[in-house]
Amino acid sequence: MRSGRVLIAAVVFLVAGIWVLFEFTHGTAGLNVSSDLAGNNVSLDMTTTGLPAVIGLPLLGIGMLLMLIAFIGAIVMQFRRPVDIMRGEETPRREVPFEE
């Protein structure tokens, strides 16, 4: 299993989903800072409606699923033994005499 290809696909799907959701978002963001720690506040209000919400959420879900598959595949590959490839006894081409 090549987890690199799955990881690339996961990143593409995640970026596409986040881009679609944030590109067509209506909302506000706010930051309130106070002298005591409990009074600090960050608020993010985003609303995506219509077709971008229908497209963005499945793209994000597929990307997260592929990221999970790539993560599990990378963990499994860490504990597998490398497979030795049996090569035949062929002489290299530059050592073969020239035939006339």
DSSP letter at 40?
-
Picking from 13-17, 25-29, 95-99, which range would have the lowest pLDDT averaged per residue? 95-99
- List the one residue out of 10, 13, 1 whose CA is nearest residue 67: 10
pLDDT at residue 12 in the model: 96
CA distance 63 to 10: 4
Token representation of residue 66: 């592929």
State the pTM of this model.
0.67
Average pLDDT over residues 27-49: 87
Tokens of 1: 């299993």
Look up residue 59 and give its two tokens: 């793209």
